[in-house]
Amino acid sequence: MQRSFDDLGAPLAEVTFCVLDFETTGGSPQTSLITEVGAVKVRGGEVLGTFQTLVNPGCAIPPKITVITGITDRLVAPAPTIDSVLPSLLEFIGGSVIVGHNVRFDMGFLQAATRRWGGPLLGNQQLDTLALARRLLVDEVPNFKLGELARRLRLPNQPSHRALEDALATTDLLHYLIERASAWGVTGLDDLVALPTITGHPQWRKLALTKPLPRRPGVYHFRDASGRILYVGKATDLRSRVRSYFSSDRRRKVAQLLRETHDITFQICTSTLEAELIELRQIQAEQPRFNRRGRRAIKPSYVKLTTAERFPRLSIVRSTSSDGVYLGPLSSRRAAETIVDAIHTALPLRRCGGRIAKSAVLPVAEPCTAQQLGVAMCPCSGATSESDYQAVVNVAVRALTGEPDLVLGPLDQRMYSLANEERFEEAAAVRDRAGAFVAAVSRQRRLSMLESIDRLVVETERGDRIELGPGATDLTTAEPATLDEALCVSSWLERNAEKVKLVTADGQLCSPLPALPDYKPVTSP
């Protein structure tokens, strides 16, 4: 059973731990068997119950093991087999966090026994007191064996190489380590599980800067010694995200960022949408040195079908001020060029540049390359009538204004034809063009929907309300002021459509147009 995110973030006083210890016939789960089981279930420092039994391994116990544990063949002869013990043991463990001193050893035997028994393997969260002790007591003890730690720390229970006694000693050690870990801001299970990795980080002593961070959505700021913002980020859980910089985040510049960080500040938000918008605005206002994305406002490009001229063609423009049919906004000129290539692959629109005056006599020049290759109906050949060309233009207009299949259909045919001929690189290029076209149409639809909304109120899973539209009262999320913010809001609505509850909608919230296919590359398992 996998632990949920809420379980991992629960206060340690509310987490149920099950401390396990096994005595075995040897050190390998593949060749050795369990001879004794000991388990202690605790929560909030209180023992909820214990589990102890000898186990008949069905084989002779090596003499050296008997010397260490005192467990003999005669002692385990009347004991139940592990198959008889497992149902009760697994019920005792339940969904608790499994703890052990070198927990991999105990879990290896438990999983091997469960596999042989035919039961499902456990997916419980695990916690290793050995790893915790190595981090928190590194300068205080000569070694980290359970007996040495119990003796030096004067734990109430001392281990004896018997399962229950060792489990009780490990429980005492767990409580001691939790108390020591609180000095480093450890308050939840996720903090405790990550601590062995975090404390190995070169900047782990700065972990104390994260103590005030709440488990709420918001925006966080890494600041240097003078208070300047080095980096701005957003998070669903501020505490978990910022602490991850000390453990799981392996981005190249994180080490340098943490070296220069002297303070971490934050701003709590009512929703992840508010966090995304505030992050965007603060990055553009502060220009933090370690932020790479979002520092510059998007300068959109559009693909335009120039319907006002004699033989309309596709062009890439920066605004929609003149007559024409537009697809966009697009994030870059390169994206626009890919979409132009997609439309040209599907429809034989002319590719030669320049306006053709209404009084011009055709042909006006030598046929262009596209006309000579037979992939475009360019008027430069003199063989294309205005009426025949207008029929192609009409199809292009329909494709750009609500019928994208008129472009995607020919692209699909071309892609599969190339694949059947084993021209896979060319097929992949056509697939990428189709994907870029779909992405542009999807973005345009989302923005059009957002513009059509007079007022929208949704409720998040946390119960927070978000209000959008010109008449909204929430100034943080009311009306996107820039294209960047409009894209942020529209993307958030699409990603979270199944996670929010619709309260009020004044305007068209859904699209009457059919869903678009997905052209993402398929990766092998």
Dist CA 158 CA 179 (whole Å): 19
Report yes or no on 293 lying in a domain: no
Q: Helix-strand-coil percent breakdown of the chain, rounded to 5?
A: 40, 15, 40
106 and 23 in a common domain: yes
Report yes or no on 238 lying in a domain: yes
Report yes or no on 276 lying in a domain: yes
Using alpha carbons, list the distances in angstroms from residue 436 to 137, 253, 445, 497.
55, 31, 14, 23
Report yes or no on 496 lying in a domain: yes
Query: Of 236, 256, 286, which closes a domain?
Result: 286
Per-residue confidence (pLDDT) for residue 100, from 0 to 100:
96
The DSSP symbol for 165 reads: H
Q: If you search the block for the tokens 């463990």, which residue do you land on?
A: 93
255 and 319 in a common domain: no
Q: How many domains does the chain have?
A: 4
The DSSP H or E segment spanning 342 is: helix 333-346
Dist CA 521 CA 430 (whole Å): 12
Q: Which amino acid is at 294?
A: G
3-state SS string over 256-286?
HHHHHCCEEEEEECCCHHHHHHHHHHHHHHH
Annotation says 161 is catalytic = yes
Using alpha carbons, list the distances in angstroms from residue 309 to 312, 389, 392.
5, 12, 14
The burial class, CB within 10 Å (0-12 / 13-18 / 19+), for 121 is: exposed
The DSSP H or E segment spanning 429 is: helix 424-452
- Reduced to 3 states (helix: H, G, I; strand: E, B; else coil), residue 297 is coil
In whole angstroms, what separates CA 245 from the centre of its chain? 15
Residues 6 or more apart from 125 whose CB is under 8 A from it?
3, 7, 8, 97, 98, 189, 193
280 and 157 in a common domain: no
Say which CATH number the domain at 74 has.
3.30.420.10
Q: If you search the block for the tokens 């209000």, which residue do you land on?
A: 467
Q: Residue 402 has which token pair?
A: 């609500």
Dist CA 23 CA 427 (whole Å): 60
Report yes or no on 191 lying in a domain: no
- Strand arrangement of the beta sheet that strand 263-268 belongs to: 229-235, 218-223, 263-268
Report yes or no on 443 lying in a domain: no
Query: Of 286, 319, 346, which closes a domain?
Result: 286
The DSSP symbol for 121 reads: P
**Residue-wise over 345-364: b if at least 16 C-beta within 10 A, else e?**
bbbbbbbbeeebeeeeebee
159 and 12 in a common domain: yes
Sign for the CA dihedral angle at 292, 293, 297, 303 comes to positive
Check whether the bond before 525 is cis (ω within 30° of 0).
Answer: no
Per-residue confidence (pLDDT) for residue 524, from 0 to 100:
44
Q: Residue 1 has which token pair?
A: 């059973």
Dist CA 221 CA 285 (whole Å): 13
Give the closest residue to 367 by CA, choosing from 378, 359, 375, 357: 378
169 and 112 in a common domain: yes
279 and 307 in a common domain: no
**Residue-wise over 139-151: b if at least 16 C-beta within 10 A, else e?**
eeeeebebeebbe
Q: Residue 514 has which token pair?
A: 């059919």
Pairing outcome for strands 455-459 and 501-506: antiparallel
Per-residue confidence (pLDDT) for residue 34, from 0 to 100:
96
349 and 459 in a common domain: no
Per-residue confidence (pLDDT) for residue 396, from 0 to 100:
94
The DSSP H or E segment spanning 24 is: strand 16-24
Block means of pLDDT (10 residues each) for the chain, 525 residues, are 45 93 94 96 95 96 94 95 96 96 96 92 94 88 93 94 96 95 81 76 77 91 95 92 78 84 93 91 93 84 88 90 90 92 91 65 62 70 78 93 92 93 92 93 86 80 77 50 83 84 77 75 54
**What's the residue count for the chain?**
525
Q: Which amino acid is at 202?
A: P
128 and 37 in a common domain: yes
Q: Which domain covers residue 472, as residue numbers?
A: 454-506
pTM, two decimal places? 0.63
DSSP H helices in 324-385: 333-346, 369-373
Report yes or no on 233 lying in a domain: yes
419 and 464 in a common domain: no
137 and 15 in a common domain: yes
59 and 123 in a common domain: yes
58 and 116 in a common domain: yes
Give the closest residue to 345 by CA, choosing from 425, 394, 406, 398: 406
Pairing outcome for strands 455-459 and 126-128: unpaired
DSSP conformation letters of 448-460: HHHHH-SEEEEE-
Report yes or no on 518 lying in a domain: no
- Reduced to 3 states (helix: H, G, I; strand: E, B; else coil), residue 71 is coil
Say which CATH number the domain at 272 has.
3.40.1440.10
Considering the candidates 161, 175, 201, 262, report the single residue annotated as catalytic: 161
Using alpha carbons, list the distances in angstroms from residue 346 to 271, 353, 405, 406.
42, 19, 10, 8
